[in-house]
Structure 1
């Protein structure tokens, strides 16, 4: 079941994201950041366990980021990642957003959802606020992708 995240989910979201952040596959998020951004998150829950997560983070009047996409390793290859990202896409459309972007190491995954690779310079400077928290800054090796939905 896909649903909006609840306060009770934050520690499980943190655990899942921290696992991938520890491998250098995504940006780490503190518990404080997760509580503050809780309304951005969707979760995939099955049998009481959190198996997937994604977030829609609004950046500007026409732009949002799909971020913090993670699926528990034991639940991989079941379409959970696509489902939680599609929940974000539906909300983005309902809000009237025109463009979504992501910074990723999984361009093939996002490509199947309609995102296209772009040069990072095409993204507005405003999107780089979180980058200074990243241990790879300023030598980012993530791939920038955009999806036009307007």
Structure 2
């Protein structure tokens, strides 16, 4: 890995060519029980919702933006390759996703996370996850942790 001061990460919308890399990155987190797994087929179907961070030609991080209603989007599958954590690349990804949400006119962005300090540093606040029925009824009903969810909900209001 290169020195931090020369590290230039660039965020871009993901393409079908990124599916294998996204799959491996997400699989690592899913094996730790901290992210839902995604099949390559699902990733390909949802590729337009994903963004990646690149250092040089290497994809080192990813995230996705999923619409939960006209007023709300969720940051999903936010992750970094080992060795690139703590360098500000995750914040660049979040900023890129926020810009997309604002461009779409969506006033609120949320996430369910274990990385609460990261999201607090990026302008989010901790909220009660029950205020997101859109999330609960679309995804949580299929989650193995549904009745013992230990993730923390965070929210950032983008447009007042």
TM-score grouping bracket, smaller chain normalisation: over 0.9
Q: Distance in 2 between matches of 1:81 and 1:149?
A: 18
For residue 26 of structure 1, the aligned residue among 17, 24, 35 is 35
Whether the 8 Å contact between 1:132 and 1:138 is mirrored in structure 2 is: no
Show structure 1 runs of 5+ residues with no match: none
Aligned with 1:88: secondary structure? helix
| Structure 1 consecutive aligned stretches of length 4 or more whose deviation exceeds 3 Å | none
Work out whether 1:45 is the aligned partner of 2:54: yes
Q: TM-score, normalization: structure 1?
A: 0.95
Partner of 1:9: 18
Q: Distance in 2 between matches of 1:70 and 1:133?
A: 22
1:81-92 alignment, distance < 5 Å: 81-92=90-101
For residue 153 of structure 2, the aligned residue among 138, 144, 150 is 144
Partner of 1:118: 127
Q: Distance in 2 between matches of 1:5 and 1:33?
A: 14
Q: TM-score, normalization: structure 2?
A: 0.89
Aligned residues: 149
